[in-house]
Chains A and B, each alone.
Chain A
């Protein structure tokens, strides 16, 4: 099956803990993204990787860091979670075309709840 896969689906943790979310795509794409979707459904891009190089790094807190082993994997680590990190984290991939007009394929998301 060709798609974008994310694990875990849900994660509940306490303030100050470290969490890591995994993303893998089997679509043969060369660009992957991490988005945060808040309770109002607003999507904000956090990171994108093209051929293992960070090409967009929005002003996210330093406790967030992307980790990529190859162009099919892009993980997200949060070093010390805070309550405002509670959200759905969506991973996506696309073929790099020099812009964002390539169709992006999204994973099912990881819902993080910070107590």
Chain B
């Protein structure tokens, strides 16, 4: 069946980096989105990737490997305010299939 998988939790340290992984298995693939959702708040769009490789957007970068069904969101120079859940969603044949999100916990 179709699915998007993400680890439930990830811990890192302020000032360092964190890599949030997303693997997917879908019948079609048009692209993949990343959203940030802080506790009790709405998801906020971060990035959309279609092509393989690394897309550098400063604080947030995204990587995609379509042949491996894999993407990651890379956050650099972590700040405490980056603590949130990060959701990936695959655009597949006019369906948007979401992962359950990874809760990123940042320690001082």
Interface stretch of the complex, out of A65-73, A74-82, A105-113: A105-113
Q: Who on chain A is nearest to B4 by CB?
A: A42
Residue in A41, A42, A100, A109 whose beta carbon sits within 8 Å of that of B42 in the complex: A109
Q: Do B91 and A101 have beta carbons less than 8 Å apart?
A: yes
Contact with B along A17-44 (1 / 0, CB 8 A): 0000000000000000000000011111
Q: Tell me, in angstroms, the Cα distance from A103 to B96 when the chains sit together.
A: 12
Minimum C-beta distance from A9 to chain B (A): 10
- Answer yes or no: B63 CB below 8 A from chain A CBs: no
Chain B residues whose CB sits within 8 angstroms of the CB of A61 once the complex forms: none
The number of chain B residues touching the other chain, given as a range, is 20 to 34
Q: Interface residues, chain A, CB within 8 Å of chain B?
A: 4, 40-45, 56, 90, 99-101, 103-109
Chain A residues whose CB sits within 8 angstroms of the CB of B94 once the complex forms: 56, 99-100
Given contacts A4-B42, A99-B30, 18 further A-B contacts (CB under 8 A): A41-B37, A42-B99, A43-B43, A43-B87, A45-B95, A90-B42, A90-B43, A99-B91, A99-B94, A100-B31, A100-B89, A100-B95, A101-B33, A101-B48, A101-B91, A103-B48, A108-B41, A108-B42
Within 8 A of A (CB), among B66-90: 85, 87, 89
Chain B residues whose CB sits within 8 angstroms of the CB of A56 once the complex forms: 94-95
